[in-house]
């Protein structure tokens, strides 16, 4: 490392979902790459702090301002939660370090559902959106919800018409679909692979610009089905507020090396992640642009509160 700062004690990688959830997968893939390649001189562990759509994890991190011995796995929901009024920005203050990858979304229905395609889903929304119950993780106004809202708007229905069930983990959304409590779920693609393989659910569409591989190879994109809903949910790493430039540089050194390892690339392929490593000035510019775009989109959808 080129920086003079290094952690002296064990470090924590905070995930705002339970084990198996989206940010947990990111945290554990990162830990695996770090440990397998000895990228740190101190022990590291994943700490799950689930609840409130990931906000409990960020409130925990905000309470440790200046402590560089922990990082959290962040996502666009950090921005959308503030813009939609779900949480005050001061409650989740953090310092973005890097974006690790991008992840696209899957729209799923139970295998015996009459909703077998995205086109059929759009027809159902157009006919009676208010009569539908849908589910997503992890909060209203996040990329999952934005992708869904674009589909609802394409159907010509009010974006607030369907009943939407919110869960802290994508795995809970899958369980909700299988139990028959909601008709369509919107989650990160990797979160439903076991149930796709077992035949318990089907994927009716994905939010990627092109088809995904593996079990999603036969699943059409929204673009293929005539709907403008290309939405990704990146995952990155952020530290507590008030950490120093040297500390950020240290973590960027670790993270940039981690995403170049064989172990990380294997996890990325398994979970349908798209490479998007970004740090420094490019990260700041990207986040600034994304903030403006999210504000515009949420305003158009009637979800903006600030």
Q: b/e for 194-206, b at 16 or more Cβ within 10 A?
A: ebbeeebbbbbbb
Please write the tens of the pLDDT for every residue from 10-69.
999 999 988 988 899 999 999 999 999 999 999 999 999 998 878 899 999 999 999 999
How far apart, in Å, are the Cα atoms of 244 and each of 100, 149, 240?
A: 20, 39, 10
pTM of the model: 0.83
Tokens of 109: 């229905």
What is the pLDDT, as a whole number, of residue 215?
A: 95
106 pLDDT exceeds 90? yes
Please write the tens of the pLDDT for every residue from 82-105.
898 888 888 889 999 999 999 999
What is the pLDDT, as a whole number, of residue 7?
A: 95
295 pLDDT exceeds 50? yes
pLDDT band of residue 163 (cuts 50, 70, 90) is very high
What is the pLDDT, as a whole number, of residue 40?
A: 97
pLDDT band of residue 140 (cuts 50, 70, 90) is confident
Alpha-helix runs per DSSP H in 84-169: 118-128, 143-154
Distance CA 108, CA 88 (A): 32
Please write the tens of the pLDDT for every residue from 200-221.
999 999 999 999 999 999 999 9
CB 44 within 8 A of CB 162: no
pLDDT band of residue 178 (cuts 50, 70, 90) is very high
What is the pLDDT, as a whole number, of residue 1?
A: 43
């Amino acid at each position: 490392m080129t920086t003079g700062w290094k952690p002296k004690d064990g470090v924590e990688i905070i995930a705002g979902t339970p084990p198996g959830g989206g940010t947990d997968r990111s945290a554990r893939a990162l830990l695996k790459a770090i440990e397998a390649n000895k990228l740190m001189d101190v022990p590291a562990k994943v700490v799950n702090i689930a609840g409130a759509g990931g906000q409990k994890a960020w409130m925990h991190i905000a309470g440790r301002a200046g402590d560089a011995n922990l990082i959290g796995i962040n996502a666009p929901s950090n921005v959308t939660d503030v813009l939609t009024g779900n949480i005050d920005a001061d409650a989740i203050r953090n310092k973005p370090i890097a974006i690790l990858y991008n992840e696209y979304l899957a729209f799923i229905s139970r295998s015996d559902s009459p909703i077998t395609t995205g086109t059929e889903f759009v027809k159902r929304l157009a006919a009676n959106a208010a009569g539908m119950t849908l589910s997503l993780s992890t909060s209203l106004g996040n990329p999952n919800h934005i992708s869904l809202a674009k589909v609802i708007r394409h159907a010509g229905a009010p974006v607030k018409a369907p009943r939407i069930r919110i869960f802290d983990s994508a795995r809970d959304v899958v369980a909700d679909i299988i139990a028959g409590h909601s008709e369509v779920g919107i989650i990160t693609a990797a979160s439903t692979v076991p149930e796709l393989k077992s035949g318990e659910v089907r994927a009716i569409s994905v939010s990627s610009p092109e088809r995904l591989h593996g079990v999603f190879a036969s699943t059409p994109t929204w673009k293929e089905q005539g709907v403008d809903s290309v939405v990704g949910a990146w995952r990155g790493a952020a530290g507590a507020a008030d950490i120093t430039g040297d500390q950020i540089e240290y973590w960027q050194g670790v993270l940039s090396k981690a995403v170049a390892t064989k172990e990380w690339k294997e996890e990325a392929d398994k979970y349908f992640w798209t490479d998007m490593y970004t740090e420094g000035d490019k990260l700041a510019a990207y986040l600034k642009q994304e903030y403006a775009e999210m504000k515009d989109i949420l305003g158009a959808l009637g979800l903006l509160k600030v």
